[in-house]
Amino acid sequence: MESSILDSIGSEIIGVMTPVSLCMLLVVLLVYSLSPSEQSLSGASDPFRTAANLVYLERPDDSSTQKLEGAVLNALVFVILIAIVTFLLVLLYYYNFTNFLKNYVRFSAFFVLVDFAHAEVLLCSWLGTMGGSIFLSIIQQFSIPVDAFTCFVLLFNFTIVGVLSLFSGGIPILLRQAYMVCMGIIMAAWFTKLPEWTTWALLLALALYDLFAVLAPGGPLKLLVELASSRDEELPALVYEARPTVSENERNRRSGLRFLLGGVSDSGSVELQVVSRDNADGRENHGNPEYSAVNVGTFGNEMHERSSDEVERLPLVGHLRDGFSSSGSSSDRSTSVNRENEIVMEEEMSPLVDMSLLGNNRQRASDSLENSLITDRGIRLGLGDFIFYSVLVGRAAMYDLMTVYACYLAIISGLGCTLILLSVCRRALPALPISITLGVLFYFLTRLLMEPFVVGTTTNLLMF
């Protein structure tokens, strides 16, 4: 029986959603398993000062207006800091200090990983007072017996492999993805320690900033992306280059999802984009016979697409599906390497833009064939998105499980909306605004409206 189209549609979206969900799940678990110990400790622990609450330290006994003002100020300062850092990065990149940037990002990633490694070492030698570290709390919570030496060796290895896998080739893609999620979790767990009001203000402010930075003319991230693509370079940052997971087994058809840490690891710069990237080397690396075969295949496909495009125009979602599922369908045809899938995908997505130029379709088709052969594309999701989605869910987890589910659903649907928009706009889009807005909205709706309703009915053993 021929495989139905249902098998392949939407795998791209799921490919992005899976790691995000995983990251959120782990952060929630972390928050849950750590919060009891923190509550018992928190009597002693003072609110600590970080870049995110420079202005105002929230105390439980402050009045609401005080909290609100302080939180807004904190968020403002933090966003301004981020904006300055990002502009600095853009400037540096503009003047070609690429090496400096690369090393800086390398260093900061190392620092993030070492940060808890460091605290870990301290803990193991019973010097540890750094209550902020994650592993420390985990080990404390579950009272895992580890000696200092083992602990040190393990963490050293963990960190080194992590930094290597993030920056050099030849490491299995799965490992990279794992480390990327790991970094997201570490950062998110750190952010969940912020006081409540500051967290909400910060999230909203970041969503706004993201909107500005990616979309506004002169926004730093927009500049960065444009600059990078005009130079045909990688983004000068911790670019998560998910070479497509090899699709020898046909289950694994999703083309690579890439995480993109545009800017610095702690700047939370975020974007979601379909990136066209120069693929000249890939072209050379590929076996030529194989490639020409694909040429023919995709060309035919393109023509077919074109002719049917003339006949009917599907709604936008249909186009999205085209793009996604065609990557699956083409891998039936040529199951060589996933990059071809991406090429085909690019090709079938490109008609979205120039559909009005259908007149000279043969010319156009061959044109876009040329173009698409030298670029490949995939969905990149910024690490910042991972972090702040997880922060939102983690914050929700401190209230109740119900808010967690509501926020999760809201964020995921926001991500879905952004992906659909992405296929329509075909440019870098901020991934935070829709999701964060929906998430915050659902959090408060759930907390204020739904909770009393559900608890009221359920404790009377009524359901429907």
Partner 1 sequence: MTVAAGIGYALIALGPSLSLFVAVISKKPFLILTVLSSTLLWLISLIVLSGIWRAFLPLKSTTWWPFALLIISSVGFQEGLRVLFWKVYKRLEDTLDAFADRVGKPRLFLTDKMQIALAGGLGHGVAHAVFFCLSLLTPAFGPATFYVDRCPQMPFFLISAIIALAFVTIHTFSMVIAFNGYAEGNTTDQYFVPVVHLVAGMVTLVNFASGGCVVGIPLLYILASLILLHCGKMVWRRLTAS
Minimum Å distance from CB 278 to partner 1?
29
Instruction: Confirm or reject binding of residue 322 to partner 1 (CB under 8 A).
Output: yes
Instruction: Confirm or reject binding of residue 29 to partner 1 (CB under 8 A).
Output: no
Instruction: Confirm or reject binding of residue 38 to partner 1 (CB under 8 A).
Output: no
Cβ proximity to partner 1, 267 vs 368, nearer residue: 368
Instruction: Confirm or reject binding of residue 9 to partner 1 (CB under 8 A).
Output: yes
- Whole-angstrom Cα distance, residue 351 to residue 368? 9
Q: Return the residues of window 402-441 that contact partner 1 according to CB under 8 A.
A: 402, 405-406, 409-410, 412-413, 416
- Whole-angstrom Cα distance, residue 85 to residue 108? 13
Catalytic annotation present for 210: yes
- Whole-angstrom Cα distance, residue 48 to residue 31? 18
∠ CA 406-24-204, nearest 5°, is 65
CA distances from 426 to 116, 221, 274, 352, 422 (A): 39, 16, 7, 9, 5
- Beta pairing, strands 379-382 & 257-261: parallel
DSSP per position, 124-166: HTT----TT-HHHHHHHHHT----HHHHHHHHHHHHHHHHHHH
In the three-class reduction of DSSP (H, G, I as helix; E, B as strand; rest coil), residue 375 is classed as strand
- Whole-angstrom Cα distance, residue 434 to residue 415? 7
Count of chain residues binding partner 1 (CB under 8 A): 53
Question: Residue 324 is which amino acid?
Answer: F
Among 269, 329, 341, 372, binds partner 1 (CB under 8 A): 329
Helix (H) or strand (E) holding 174: helix 173-191
Catalytic annotation present for 354: no
Q: Return the residues of window 71-100 that contact partner 1 according to CB under 8 A.
A: none
Stretch that binds partner 1, among 11-19, 50-58, 146-154, 355-363 (CB under 8 A): 11-19
Instruction: Confirm or reject binding of residue 454 to partner 1 (CB under 8 A).
Output: yes
Instruction: Confirm or reject binding of residue 145 to partner 1 (CB under 8 A).
Output: no
Residue 56 contacts residue 198 (beta carbons within 8 Å): yes
Instruction: Confirm or reject binding of residue 445 to partner 1 (CB under 8 A).
Output: yes
- Whole-angstrom Cα distance, residue 54 to residue 63? 19
Question: Residue 114 is which amino acid?
Answer: V
Among 285, 308, 363, 366, binds partner 1 (CB under 8 A): 308
- Whole-angstrom Cα distance, residue 414 to residue 404? 15
Cβ proximity to partner 1, 7 vs 367, nearer residue: 7
Instruction: Confirm or reject binding of residue 44 to partner 1 (CB under 8 A).
Output: no
Stretch that binds partner 1, among 207-215, 315-323, 350-358, 386-394 (CB under 8 A): 315-323
Helix 173-191 and helix 383-397, axial crossing angle in degrees, nearest 10: 50
Residue 303 contacts residue 365 (beta carbons within 8 Å): yes
Minimum Å distance from CB 399 to partner 1?
10
Among 143, 289, 356, 461, binds partner 1 (CB under 8 A): 461
Minimum Å distance from CB 268 to partner 1?
26
**Exposed, middle or buried: residue 11 (CB in 10 Å: 0-12, 13-18, 19+)?**
middle
Residue 326 main-chain phi, psi, to 5 deg: -65, -30
Q: Which of 210, 309, 322, 376 is catalytic?
A: 210
Q: Which of 266, 322, 376, 385 is catalytic?
A: 385
Among 200, 386, 442, 443, binds partner 1 (CB under 8 A): 442
Residue 41 contacts residue 129 (beta carbons within 8 Å): no
Minimum Å distance from CB 343 to partner 1?
16
Stretch that binds partner 1, among 131-139, 177-185, 186-194, 445-453 (CB under 8 A): 445-453
H-assigned helices in 248-360: 280-285, 288-311, 316-333, 338-349
Contact pattern for partner 1 over residues 343 through 382, marking x by CB under 8 A: ----------------------------------------
Instruction: Confirm or reject binding of residue 8 to partner 1 (CB under 8 A).
Output: yes
Minimum Å distance from CB 236 to partner 1?
33
Instruction: Confirm or reject binding of residue 30 to partner 1 (CB under 8 A).
Output: no
Residues that bind partner 1 (CB under 8 A): 2-11, 13-14, 304-305, 308, 312, 314-315, 317-318, 321-322, 325-326, 329, 400-402, 405-406, 409-410, 412-413, 416, 442, 445-446, 449-450, 452-464
Q: Which residues are catalytic?
A: 210, 385
